[in-house]
Structure 1
Amino acid sequence: TYGFELTVTDNQGLAGKDSVLVTLNNIVPTNWPPQVSPLCNKPYKIVVVGSSTAYGTGASPIDSSWVKKFTTYVQIQNPLVSVVNIATLSLTSYDVSPTGTPVPSPYLIDTARNITKALSLNPDAIILSLPSNDVARGIPAADIHTNFNLIVAAATARQIPVWVTTTQARNTLSAAERVLQMELRDWIINTYGNKAVDFWSTISNADGTINEFYSAGDGVHLNNYGHHVLFTRMVAEKIWDSLCARTNQAPIANAGRDTSVSPNTGLVLSATGSSDPDGDVITYNWRVVNSSNATITSANTASPVFTATAAGLFRVELKVSDTYGKAAYDTVAIQVSPVNVPPVAYAGIDQLVVKDDVDHLAFE
């Protein structure tokens, strides 16, 4: 830190003085991280669930926020990648809990911003970033732990991985609350392991306040330098490689139950019982296996129409494919039988006979 004094003297010999302190910080690099090649070119979607820092507060312009920079980075890697940010101001872990979770007043689950909404967007990965509002609002640590686990469990049930950022320093907390912030930071790291992202070190002082050089000036949020640190931490996670390394499971094909139909009568088949364990989009292809006397209309849909021109037992194969080339098969048997026409009964013409003269009564 350097002090400078300014003396101003007028032509009458009167002088005024003022001083200023200039503190020099080490230059913080804001270089763009190297663009690394992912393990695969799989297109993927990441949804960000969080509060004001994830929304971009503190960065100026907002394009300097960590989510905006992260989005740019991954889209340079792969233009087919998308990052959907549903974070907004002031949210807590109560607010983004799964829809239907009981929460205490005055909290209300934000169904446009919570984990249930995030999962409805069919993501391949989720980033959960709730850096300080829970402790600032006085939510008990046990409740915070429960809420975080519920949020992550909802995604895990859908086989969607979640990266959880740690807490961040905050000047507006009391000394005791800053200790709680550090305890929550450690709990996140211990609970979520390699899916925990360090949003604490470098930008925080030892007492849990924000390092002045990274502060946006409001005691809560980070400036462009701070957002850049968070951005580089997310890049270092290489989420894209984790998604590439995940084993892609084959879809499940279900062609429906065996059935019967008459010749020249359309039969609607159904593959709606088919699914994909990874949640991938699936496509359908139907074909008649054992005969040329049948056709399938709209064979690349889930509900095509089967029509046979002759009687017989037909086998129809369903192929279900996911977007990464894995396929599954199922077969449905269709018995095509002619319409059963009832026999014609003819008892002959009416006759007149003499009572007890049965010898002359005849039927045809």
Structure 2
Amino acid sequence: MKAIILPVLLSFLCLNIQAQVNINPCAQLTDIHVVVLGSSTAAGTGPSTVDSAWVNRYRDYLQAINPQSQVTNLAIGGTTTYHIMPSWFVPPSGRPSTNPNNNVTQAINLGADAIIINMPSNDAANGFGLTEQMHNFIAIANAADSAGIPVWVCTTQPKNFSPAAQAVQTSVRDSILSHFGNFAVDFWTGIADTNDDILPLYDSGDGTHLSTEGHSVLVSRMINEEIPNILADTATTTDYVLSQIYLEHTSICGDSNTLFHAVIGNIGPSDSDSTTVVFYTLDNNSGLLSSQSVFMASPIPVCHLDTVSLLINTYNGVNYDLQAYLSNNNANKSNDTSQVASIYTIGHPTITPFNDTVCVGDTSILRAFGTQPSDTVVWYDAPVGGSIVGFGNQFMLTNLRASQTYYPEVVRGNLHFDESLSTTSTTSTHWNGVMFDLVVLDTITLDSLSTKLNTLGPQTVVAYSRAGSHVGYENNAGAWTIWGTAATNVHTAGAFYSLDYPDKVLFPNDTLGIYLHLQNGSSKLSYLATGNPLMYSNSKLKIIGGSGVSHTFGTTFTPRNWRGEIFYHHGFNPTGDCNTTRLAAHAVVSMPSLDLGPDTLLYQNQSLLLQGTDFINYAWNDNSIGNQLLVDSSNTVLGNNLFWLSASNQYGCMVRDSILITFSINTGRNQIELEELEYSIFPNPSLGNIQLKTSNHQALTLYLFTSDGSLIRQLKSTPNQSIDLSDLAKGVYFISLNQEGKQEIKKLVLY
């Protein structure tokens, strides 16, 4: 068994499998070596890509638990149980000899911690019956057991066989399950139909090998065997290990309930010593380091886990580095400190809208602001749904005649959709350069890419592109255009590194050939060699495998499949990454009103107080600026006196009104006579031609005044006579009618 090592895992690899197994800390901290013996299924025949084969996926699973774990695949197509027998085995006459490079002896020599045997159907296809198959399985298991290595034996698998061969298959299946018990792995149930043939979903098409979906079932069955837990080592004394840290309730915008979890495991005997988890938080914006301690009240049993959590408010945007540390009396301190986890959030925006009040016909400017200069204000014409009517901190409305309301919303982040398309990570070859094609299905903008680099130290990756496929142009440098160069520092060989090149806009049905090579001719990136080019796609983009091409359009190998991820954006996303609710912003039209009252008659011993209210500025016809004007004999003359007021409110909106006051020295009897003088103007308002209507048919004297009291015309007229005033400007006028000492004043509107 291997010695315990101490990796700290931030997260497990996300696999497309259904198995749900709890891995204990002892297993996480133990690297294991699993050797697979088998035939074409274990070798990877059947799935659409080799990455989907169950052995490769099981390798990914084990290395997600502990990166130092290994899976060695000795499977070869056509292998039978005789081929994997111990090297000392002498087969009966007419039976195959053992293969010393791919048998159980080789697995033992490779230092296997566990052996998995996957022999689906070749024995039955070769006419080997139940007895000899079980004899071989048991002999192989005994050989491994003598070396202290546990063996898991997979059952036979369904195949579209003859009835006789099917009978052998099912009898071997049942015997494996019965004899090997907990070390038997069911590769039959749920894959076979009622006739013991392969279900169509799981058939790769040849009636023998399983499809990608079928291999998903196989890897799930293997994961459920919990081999890492079974093989896990334990320490001789209590040893608390900071096994894992991870974050929960996270988003790019931030969350007030983000949790920083520290998973602590015990890989030794339990004791009662206390342990405290110390959480460190480094604020990268301020440089401040803070800590918070959490006491663990209960001891953790051997190979068990406990989780301690710290609540972090990331709602308003943070840039933190987080780390956890165990404080206890354990002798081994090398596994008490976690790696550093970083969390960056842009924070939720807030919105502050400002209303605007203007006069009729003026321009209104509504304003709204977020909390950061990079925030975008989007203006809508409705509180929910509706249409976008503008962008920016200001929204202008010209020639405003009536009050209106609009609804700003603050958006943080890009106003487009960010997506990516990745290949799988499996690689087989290290070479200086690689070519591949992108086929575009929708309008997109390429932002950057990541690729797998295999040479340590500072590296520069040169990128070329061409309109159209790379095929046929692998060695034609003149057919390519330099896209850019990107520098990075490779700390881990075989890891993915981000490369930023100038944005490139692509349109539907475009094909873009891409060539990446290391600037240093001896440096290498990694890709996958396969029999056919592989394709990866989504609704926007396809990545089609291509060729390995050495430094500056050199030696070419094909097909070779690039390993990496393409980052791009597309479309219009009005809500960005984070957005506020919409709030109302009102553009209000101020319409002040002013009424000095009806035109009136006063006598010399009378007065009238004219008054305007709720205004800021006042301008009377006599140049006074108060809000009141007293009208009496001191500021009037006998006869007609026109008074007017211009006023403006706090928004600068002007309003004007006038009143005609007639002062008389008539007696009370004459007052009655004045009141008896009645006439009307028709039409009123008028385009310019009017008639005077009265029951009195005597001659009349007519005085015409402007609204500011200026006499502009004096006429003699008889009742019902047409009077032409069409030469006058549009506006408000006053007509004073005098007849035999009687007087009456009326307002006339010309339009």
TM-score bracket relative to the smaller structure:
0.5 to 0.7
Contact persistence 1:30–1:225 (CA under 8 A)? no
Normalising by the residue count of structure 1, what TM-score does the alignment of the two structures yield? 0.58
What SS class does the counterpart of residue 177 from structure 1 fall into?
A: helix
Q: Distance in 2 between matches of 1:39 and 1:113?
A: 33
Paired residue for 1:133, among 117, 122, 141?
122
1:103-150 Cα distance to aligned partner (Å, 9 max, x none): 133512111111111111011100011111111110122111111111
Structure 2 CA distance for partners of 1:200 and 1:35, relative to 1, 3 Å:
closer
Contact persistence 1:35–1:77 (CA under 8 A)? no
Match of 2:218 in 1: 230
Q: Distance in 1 between matches of 2:135 and 2:217?
A: 29
Match of 1:95 in 2: 83
1:147-189 Cα distance to aligned partner (Å, 9 max, x none): 1111000000011000000010001x21121111111100000
Q: Distance in 1 between matches of 2:121 and 2:197?
A: 12
What SS class does the counterpart of residue 232 from structure 2 fall into?
A: helix
Q: Distance in 2 between matches of 1:247 and 1:204?
A: 44
Match of 1:186 in 2: 174
What aligned pairs does 1:140-159 form with structure 2 within 5 A after superposition?
140-159=129-148
For residue 230 of structure 1, what is the amino acid of its counterpart? L
Structure 2 CA distance for partners of 1:246 and 1:180, relative to 1, 3 Å:
farther
Whether 1:200 and 2:188 are equivalent positions in the alignment is: yes
Q: Distance in 2 between matches of 1:114 and 1:247?
A: 33
Contact persistence 1:47–1:83 (CA under 8 A)? yes
Q: Distance in 1 between matches of 2:223 and 2:95?
A: 36
Q: Distance in 2 between matches of 1:32 and 1:184?
A: 27
Structure 2 CA distance for partners of 1:247 and 1:147, relative to 1, 3 Å:
farther
Structure 2 CA distance for partners of 1:247 and 1:182, relative to 1, 3 Å:
farther
Q: Percentage identity across aligned positions?
A: 38
What SS class does the counterpart of residue 240 from structure 1 fall into?
A: helix
Paired residue for 1:114, among 103, 107, 116?
103
Structure 1: runs of 5+ lacking an equivalent: 1-28, 249-364
Whether 1:55 and 2:43 are equivalent positions in the alignment is: yes
Q: Which has the higher contact order (CA 8 A, sep 6+)?
A: 1
What aligned pairs does 1:327-342 form with structure 2 within 5 A after superposition?
none
What SS class does the counterpart of residue 208 from structure 1 fall into?
A: coil
Contact persistence 2:20–2:224 (CA under 8 A)? no
Contact persistence 1:214–1:225 (CA under 8 A)? yes
For residue 175 of structure 2, what is the amino acid of its counterpart? W
Q: Distance in 1 between matches of 2:207 and 2:16?
A: 22
Match of 1:257 in 2: none
For residue 39 of structure 2, what is the amino acid of its counterpart? S
Structure 2 CA distance for partners of 1:92 and 1:246, relative to 1, 3 Å:
farther
Q: Distance in 2 between matches of 1:87 and 1:67?
A: 10
Q: Distance in 2 between matches of 1:246 and 1:139?
A: 43
What SS class does the counterpart of residue 46 from structure 1 fall into?
A: strand
Q: Distance in 2 between matches of 1:106 and 1:144?
A: 12
What SS class does the counterpart of residue 37 from structure 2 fall into?
A: strand
Structure 2: runs of 5+ lacking an equivalent: 1-14, 237-751
Q: Distance in 2 between matches of 1:132 and 1:236?
A: 23
Q: Distance in 2 between matches of 1:135 and 1:88?
A: 17
Structure 2 CA distance for partners of 1:69 and 1:194, relative to 1, 3 Å:
same
1:303-359 Cα distance to aligned partner (Å, 9 max, x none): xxxxxxxxxxxxxxxxxxxxxxxxxxxxxxxxxxxxxxxxxxxxxxxxxxxxxxxxx
Match of 1:38 in 2: 24
For residue 211 of structure 1, what is the amino acid of its counterpart? L
* Aligned-residue CA RMSD (Å): 1.9
Q: Quick check: which has more Rg, 1 or 2? A: 2
Q: Distance in 1 between matches of 2:108 and 2:171?
A: 29
Q: Distance in 1 between matches of 2:198 and 2:113?
A: 33
Contact persistence 2:81–2:137 (CA under 8 A)? yes
Contact persistence 2:17–2:220 (CA under 8 A)? no
What SS class does the counterpart of residue 200 from structure 1 fall into?
A: coil
Structure 2 CA distance for partners of 1:31 and 1:99, relative to 1, 3 Å:
closer
What SS class does the counterpart of residue 156 from structure 1 fall into?
A: helix
- Cα displacement (A) at 1:39: 4.0
Whether 1:66 and 2:54 are equivalent positions in the alignment is: yes
Q: Distance in 2 between matches of 1:246 and 1:145?
A: 35
Contact persistence 2:85–2:139 (CA under 8 A)? yes
- Cα displacement (A) at 1:100: 2.0
Match of 2:345 in 1: none
Contact persistence 1:178–1:207 (CA under 8 A)? no
Normalising by the residue count of structure 2, what TM-score does the alignment of the two structures yield? 0.28
Query: When the two structures are aligned, how many residues end up with a matched partner?
Result: 219
Q: Distance in 1 between matches of 2:234 and 2:168?
A: 35
Write 1 or 2 for the structure with the bigger share of strand: 2
Write 1 or 2 for the structure with the bigger share of helix: 1
What SS class does the counterpart of residue 49 from structure 1 fall into?
A: strand
What SS class does the counterpart of residue 72 from structure 2 fall into?
A: strand
Structure 2 CA distance for partners of 1:141 and 1:32, relative to 1, 3 Å:
closer
- Cα displacement (A) at 1:37: 3.0
